[in-house]
Structure 1
Amino acid sequence: MDVDKLAAIDIHVHAEVSCHDPEDPIFGEFLDASTRYFKAERRRPTIPETIAHYRERNIGFVMFTVDMEAGTGVKRIRNEEIAEAAAANGDIMIAFASIDPHKGKRGAIEARDLIEKHGVKGFKFHPPLQNFDPGDRMAWPLYEVINHYKLPAIFHTGHSGLGAGMPGGGGIRLKYGQPMLVDEVAVAFPDIRIVLAHPGWPWTDESLSMALHKPNVFIDLSGWSPRYFPKQIVTYANGQLGDKFLFGSDFPLIPPDKWIAAFDQAGFKPELREPILKGNAARLLFG
């Protein structure tokens, strides 16, 4: 990936449609609800369609699925499928993996295999969907592998659009999205570059505190249009945390060009445009 030639790097892109397996019926119910919540199209793009979308815009991107088999029963998209697509499109795409922490040591072995044999460059966790406290020792074997390879890990934080409006919220417990629960991970595994995904509402200030306090903690701004960011996001970006914020869209729910257009009107200092849209992510991903 030639970063200098890219217009931006989107660090938060979802794979929601497998090229090999039919849509999981349980996941279909979540997609129906999120379509209503985000006012998005019900049909989600395939991995090749997503690649074409980003290539047309000259935007690099990180793609992952969410392994939430224990928490929801949803069959995951295979991590290998995403890794294979990234290997064939390495000029524009980076593969992160997702492994349900309930898989314990078996999950840790899978993580090592994905890194060494499939070129995976990081990991994605969604504690509310995976139904776990990110500080729970259950996840330690998986974190130990990520820490050993000094890779980044994205943690969903804050409110969850997935499950919103479903009976019981689809069984999703919002409490596991509290950013401060990830602080234990940041302390115990300082070689994991932790990305707190989304503005973290209603716990935004916790994310900001952690990014100020821990050198290995960053914040991606995905899942919200910048026009709706809590005001302290822009304040801290323009002040002490300009090097800690990353562009993320949450595609396909929010298109990258729509996010960037709103970002340009949200009050960020002009000199922060390049770091947030690309430079900060390039340093996190490539050192």
Structure 2
Amino acid sequence: MDVAAIRAIDVHVHVEADDHGHLSLDEELMEASAAYFKGSESRTPTVDDLAARYRAAGMAAVVFTVDATTATGHPALRSEEVAERAADHADVLIPFGSVDPHQGEVAVRRARALVERHGVRGFKFHPSLQAFSPDDPTYAPLWRALEELGVPALFHTGQNGIGAGLPGGRGIKLRYSNPLLLDDVAADFPGLTVILAHPSVPWQAEAISMATHKANVFIDLSGWRPKYFPPELVRAAGGMLHHKVLFGSDYPLITPERWLDDFAELGIREEHHEGILKGNAARVLGLGPPSE
């Protein structure tokens, strides 16, 4: 990938359907998420759809699905297939994998294969959707494997649009997405890059504290339009954490163009824009030199 040829790297983009029409979530959860975010674009982009969209926009995208097979009973999209399709669009797509943490050693072996055989550049986890507490020692072998592989782990944190408005939130528990549960992971595996996805409301202060305290913790700014960001996050992103925050949209739930338009109005100093929109991600993903 020619990083210089793109204007931004969106580190949080969902593959919601495969080439066979299988969806990443069951219909009820997909509809609840669509109602929560009130977007207008297609909710079920394939890898090829995403490549065409981001190429036309002059951007690159980190693409992934979430394997929550055990927790939801819904068969996941195959990360192997996501990676294979993304390889056809290496000019704009960066594949992340996803494994089901409940699968234990099988998940560890699969994670290794996804990196070594399929070329994924990181992994996405959603503790609430996948129904696991990331600080549980049960999952330490998985974090150790990712640390050894040298790839980042991106974790959903904070409020959850999946299951929103449904009775009991469809059993999805928000507490698993408290970013402080990942402080143990970052401390115990200092060679593992941990990315806290989204404004971590209602735990934003915890996320900022972690990213300030630990060199291996970053924050992606996806999932909210920037005009709704908590003020403390705007201050941190424009100040002491400008080198630790990453542009992400959460597409197809929020379009990257809408996100960028809002971001331009936040008042963050112009000299920090390149790092937040591209340079920091290039550094985390090993695509180029550190941003200034």
TM interval, short-chain normalised: over 0.9
Within 1, Cα distance between the matches of 2:4 and 2:43?
A: 33
Q: In 1, distance between residues paired with 2:116 and 2:142?
A: 15
Runs of 4+ in 1 over 3 A off after TM superposition: none
The alignment of Structure 1 onto Structure 2 pairs a total of residues equal to 286
- TM-score, reference length from structure 2: 0.95
Contact between 2:47 and 2:86, CA under 8 Å: does it hold in 1? no
TM-superposed deviation, 1:46? 2.0
Per-residue deviation, 1:86: 1.7
Take 2:188 and 2:144, find their aligned partners in 1: how far apart are those partners? Answer: 9
Matched residue type, 1:66: V
2:43, 2:252 within 8 Å by CA — same for their partners in 1? no
Amino acid at match of 1:205: A
Q: What letter is aligned with 1:278?
A: K
CA contact (8 A) 1:121 1:152 kept: yes
Matching residue of 1:40: 39
Letter in 1 for 2:267: G
Q: How far apart are the structure 2 equivalents of 1:247 and 1:238?
A: 13
TM-score by length of 1: 0.97
Give the match's secondary structure for 1:179.
coil
Moved more, 36-45 or 47-56: 36-45
Gaps of 5+ in 1: none
Residue 101 of structure 1 contacts residue 138 of structure 1 at CA under 8 Å; is this kept in 2?
no
SS of 1:75's partner is coil
State the shift of 1:89 in Å. 1.0
Structure 2 counterpart of 1:171:
171
Q: Deviations over 1:146-171 (max 9, x none)?
A: 00011111010000011100111011
Corresponding residue number in structure 1 for 2:257: 257
1:276 maps to which residue?
276
User: Does the aligned pair in 2 maintain the 1:15–1:64 contact within 8 Å?
Assistant: yes
**How far, CA to CA, are the matches of 2:188 and 2:43 in structure 1?**
41
Structure 1 residue 213, shift from structure 2 partner: 0.2
- The one-letter amino acid paired with 1:188 is D
State the SS of the aligned residue for 1:90: coil
Stretch moving more, 140-149 or 37-46: 37-46
1:21 Cα offset (Å) = 4.7
Cα RMSD after superposing both structures: 1.2
Deviations, residues 203-256 of structure 1 (Å, cap 9, x unaligned): 000000000000000000000000000001111122211100000000000011
Render the CA deviation track for 1:44-99: whole Å, top value 9, x for unaligned: 22221111000001101100100111111121000011101221111111110011
Give the unaligned 5+ runs of structure 2. Answer: none
